[in-house]
Chains A and B, each alone.
Chain A
């Protein structure tokens, strides 16, 4: 099946700094990429949907100025958490989809803000 990678797998940053997470589709072109957030022992919550070359669509309650999403190519999307705070600590998961086919999920990135 199709493979999606995320980098880094784990990042620790200080409060007030920004951190960028990359999501790459390795063997297919992801026309749409999704970013999710998962708190411990909870389900995935969709944060935003991004289509290549256009602005991301954010879910209600997700601050677009805090969670900057860029989908510059068919194989790369980035999520930048700006001015991170401890409450932003979470597991961030991306997925990619080509057309209306199924979503393929990355392994996730654990963000810890100290």
Chain B
């Protein structure tokens, strides 16, 4: 069975501080990992996916298969980064079906 765990429900940092949102997964095959973001009163949208290996809005995430982690990082948080962040996993045999983690609310204080 596939599972995604985000251990922190809430993460509060000051503007300009580094931020790391943790995500761990369990999956027997080769998963595809994603980070989705939901800003206040907006729909869920894709932030980044591990196969793209790109930086979006200053965020990066590296897939660590040894630790089964896909933590989201940003060196300098901005107030506009405040949102709900969801880590999600897609297994090869399940098509593009996603399993979501519980989500982490990031609050960036001025």
Q: Which A residues are within 8 Å of any B CB, using their own CB?
A: 1, 32, 34, 42-46, 49, 93, 95, 97, 99-103, 105-108
A102 touches B44 (CB 8 A): no
A45–B98 Cα distance when bound, in Å, is 10
Please, what's the 1-or-0 string for B82-101, where 1 marks a CB less than 8 Å from any CB in chain A?
Answer: 00001000000001111111
Q: Restricting to B39-64, which residues have a CB under 8 Å from any CB of A? A: 42-46, 49
Residue numbers of B with Cβ under 8 A of A are 34, 42-46, 49, 86, 95-103
Cross-chain contact B97 with A44 (CB below 8 angstroms): no
B44–A93 CB distance below 8 A = yes
Q: Tell me if B44 and A44 are in contact (CB < 8 A).
A: yes
The answer to whether A102 touches B46, judged by C-beta atoms less than 8 angstroms apart, is yes
The answer to whether A102 and B49 touch across the interface, beta carbons within 8 angstroms, is yes
| B residues less than 8 Å from A1 (CB atoms) | 45
Q: What is the distance, in angstroms, from B63's C-beta to the closest C-beta of chain A?
A: 16
Neighbouring A residues of B95 by C-beta, 8 Å: 32, 49, 100
In the bound assembly, the distance between CA atoms of A42 and B101 in angstroms comes to: 10
Is there contact, CB below 8 Å, between A105 and B45? yes
In the complex, the answer to whether A105 meets B43 with C-beta atoms within 8 Å is yes
List A contacts of B42 (CB < 8 A): 107
Chain A residues whose C-beta falls within 8 Å of the C-beta of B43 in the assembled complex: 93, 105-108
Across the interface, do A43 and B49 meet the contact criterion of CB distance under 8 Å?
Answer: no
Instruction: Report the 9 A-B pairs with minimum CB-CB distance, sorted nearest first.
Output: A105-B44, A107-B43, A43-B102, A97-B96, A43-B103, A43-B100, A44-B100, A105-B43, A100-B96
